[in-house]
Amino acid sequence: MSERSLEERIKSLRERGSSDEEIVKLLIAAGYHESEIRASLEAEKPEEKVSEVISLPAPAGEAVKSLAISAPQGKYLPGFVALFSNAMALYKKNVLALTEVYLPPVIALALAVIFFGAAHSTWPVLRFIWGILAGLGYAVSFFLATIAVLAMATILNSEGMSSGEAYWRSLKKMGPYYWILLLEFLITLGGLVMGVLPMIIFGVWFSMAIFLFVDQEQRGINALLRSKEYVAGYWWGVFGRTLLMALVVLIVEAIVGSVAGIFGQSANYTVSLALQLVIAPFSTAFSYSIYRALKEIKPELAGEPVKGNRSFFLFSAWLGVISPLIILSLAAIIAGHYGRLPL
């Protein structure tokens, strides 16, 4: 071991652009203990807190509630270009496996489109048969797409995993995975009942849940609450980068669709479906890059119990469950008020 002090080594590695976790690994290999490395890192960057406040309409007509969200000072989420580059590197490294796992839902969708086109037959019986097949094709495509997203997250989190192994692991985790998706859907739907703003806030908070399920085996509402803890303090950063990525995707789809449309509708459909084999895996890699950056910013969360107001989110989930009744009741009241229903 050289005569340089631990602080000097950390400073040297920091100047090279190494992250905290990279510094820890390099210095452990150099013979230092992890505890003294992390202590020096903490001493170098004390975690003073700043507050970012998001106003959230509270349920059941209560007054607006302010949620104080803390972010470690001096710890920044990488910019869009850096995240895009990271996602590109991940995509290139796993392109074959990612493409293979997303191929089944694209094939099912292609068949559904073909069946839907055939449903315009002049024969009523054939219209019915092709219509049923088209509906089944869309349903199967949706099911396979949800499994494929979990499989892609598994591949990105596990270096060198094959598509077959990722699919098999995902299929074995279908129960808890769909439970997370259902809770997220119901809580977000309940947020929509409170207003559009809560729905958007919840959507960003819970956007890391699938990676926490794969990486840290967080399940149920714990996956959603832990996702919220990672996003806390970086809500606008996650929202802005995700929105910008969505705009890039829309622009690419519009340009490619316009060019393909020159050669006819069939060519447009074919190119659009093929494009999904690139867009869906790359978008997943981009989201995973955000998760990995948040995990590096907040390494302490991995060893802490999940916190958060479960009762509030369970209330929102119940709002989501009864939201169809709420919507129908409001529609009936409005229609009755204007004399469109004989109430």
Query: Which residue shows structure tokens 């859907």?
Result: 185
Check residue 286 and give its pLDDT: 96
Radius of gyration of the chain from its Cα atoms, rounded to whole angstroms = 24
In the DSSP assignment, the letter for residue 58 is: P
Distance, in Å, from the CA atom of 340 to the CA atom of 343, rounded to the nearest integer, reads 9
Reported as a pLDDT band with limits 50, 70 and 90, residue 332 is low
Does the pLDDT of residue 68 top 70, yes or no? no
Q: What number of helices (H) and strands (E) belong to the chain?
A: 14, 2
pLDDT digits (tens, 9 = 90+) for 166-180: 999 999 999 999 999
β-bridge partners, 49: 72
Q: At 41, which amino acid appears?
A: L
Does residue 67 contact residue 53 with C-beta atoms inside 8 Å?
A: yes
pLDDT digits (tens, 9 = 90+) for 119-169: 776 777 777 888 888 889 899 999 999 999 999 999 999 877 888 899 999
Distance, in Å, from the CA atom of 227 to the CA atom of 220, rounded to the nearest integer, reads 11
Nearby residues of 85 by Cβ (< 8 Å), 6 or more positions away = none
Cα 150 to chain centroid distance, Å, stands at 10
Distance, in Å, from the CA atom of 291 to the CA atom of 158, rounded to the nearest integer, reads 14
Does the pLDDT of residue 96 top 80, yes or no? yes
Does the pLDDT of residue 335 top 70, yes or no? no
Does the pLDDT of residue 204 top 70, yes or no? yes
